Amino acid sequence: MSEAQQPILSVRNVKVHFQVAHGDSAWPWAAKKTLKAVDGVSFDLYPGETLGVVGESGCGKSTLSRAILNLIPATDGEIVWMGKDLRKGDARDWHRVRRDIQMIFQDPLASLNPRMTVAQIIAEPLRTHRPELGDTEVMARVRKMMKRVGLTEQQINRYPHEFSGGQCQRIGIARALILEPKLIICDEPVSALDVSIQAQIINLLKELQREMGLSLIFIAHDLAVVKHISDRILVMYLGREMELAGKHALYDNPTHPYTQALLSAIPFPDPERERHKTIQLLAGDLPSPINPPSGCVFRTRCPQAQERCAKEPTKLHRVDDKTQCSCLLV
pLDDT in tens, 301-324: 998 889 999 999 898 999 988 899
Strand arrangement of the beta sheet that strand 84-85 belongs to: 32-45, 9-21, 76-81, 84-85
Average pLDDT, the chain: 89
294 lies in a domain? Answer: yes
270 lies in a domain? Answer: yes
Number of domains into which the chain is organized: 1
Q: For 2-6, 15-19, 47-51, which range has the lowest pLDDT when averaged over its residues? A: 2-6
Query: Within 13 Å and on the Cβ side, how many CA atoms surround 62?
Result: 12
Mark residue 60 as left, alpha or beta (left: phi above 0; alpha: psi -120 to 50; beta: remaining): left
**Is residue 54 a contact partner of residue 236, using CB atoms and an 8 Å limit?**
yes
pLDDT of residue 227: 87
**Whole-number percent of the chain with pLDDT over 90:** 62
pLDDT in tens, 24-46: 556 666 778 899 999 999 999 99
pLDDT of residue 1: 52
pLDDT in tens, 162-183: 999 899 999 999 999 999 999 9
Task: Give me the domain span that covers residue 245.
Answer: 9-100+218-325
| Angstrom distance (rounded) from CA 42 to CA 319 | 16
**Is residue 101 a contact partner of residue 90, using CB atoms and an 8 Å limit?**
no
Tell me the CATH number at 23.
3.40.50.300
| Angstrom distance (rounded) from CA 127 to CA 134 | 9
pLDDT confidence of 96, banded at 50, 70, 90? Answer: confident
173 lies in a domain? Answer: no
pLDDT of residue 249: 93
208 lies in a domain? Answer: no
At residue 101, what are phi and psi to the nearest 5 degrees?
-125, 115
Mark residue 95 as left, alpha or beta (left: phi above 0; alpha: psi -120 to 50; beta: remaining): alpha
| Angstrom distance (rounded) from CA 82 to CA 10 | 8
**Is residue 70 a contact partner of residue 11, using CB atoms and an 8 Å limit?**
no
pLDDT of residue 286: 84
Distance between start and end Cα atoms, the chain = 24
The one-letter amino acid at 122: I
pLDDT of residue 133: 93
pLDDT in tens, 230-264: 999 999 999 999 999 999 999 999 999 999 988 88
Mean pLDDT in residue range 148-164: 94
Give 3-state DSSP helix, strand, coil % of the chain, rounded to 5.
35, 20, 45
Q: For 88-102, 187-201, 268-282, 288-302, which range has the lowest pLDDT when averaged over its residues? A: 268-282
162 lies in a domain? Answer: no
- pTM confidence score: 0.90
156 lies in a domain? Answer: no
pLDDT in tens, 170-221: 999 999 999 999 999 999 888 878 888 888 899 999 999 999 999 999 999 8
264 lies in a domain? Answer: yes
19 lies in a domain? Answer: yes
**Is residue 211 a contact partner of residue 44, using CB atoms and an 8 Å limit?**
no
| Angstrom distance (rounded) from CA 272 to CA 243 | 30
Most confident segment among 143-147, 190-194, 271-275: 143-147
| Angstrom distance (rounded) from CA 258 to CA 329 | 13
3-state secondary structure 61-90: HHHHHHHHCCCCCCCEEEEEECCEEHHHCC
Range 91-99, long-range pairs (CB < 8 A, 24+ positions): 94/70, 95/129, 98/69, 98/129, 99/129, 99/179, 99/181
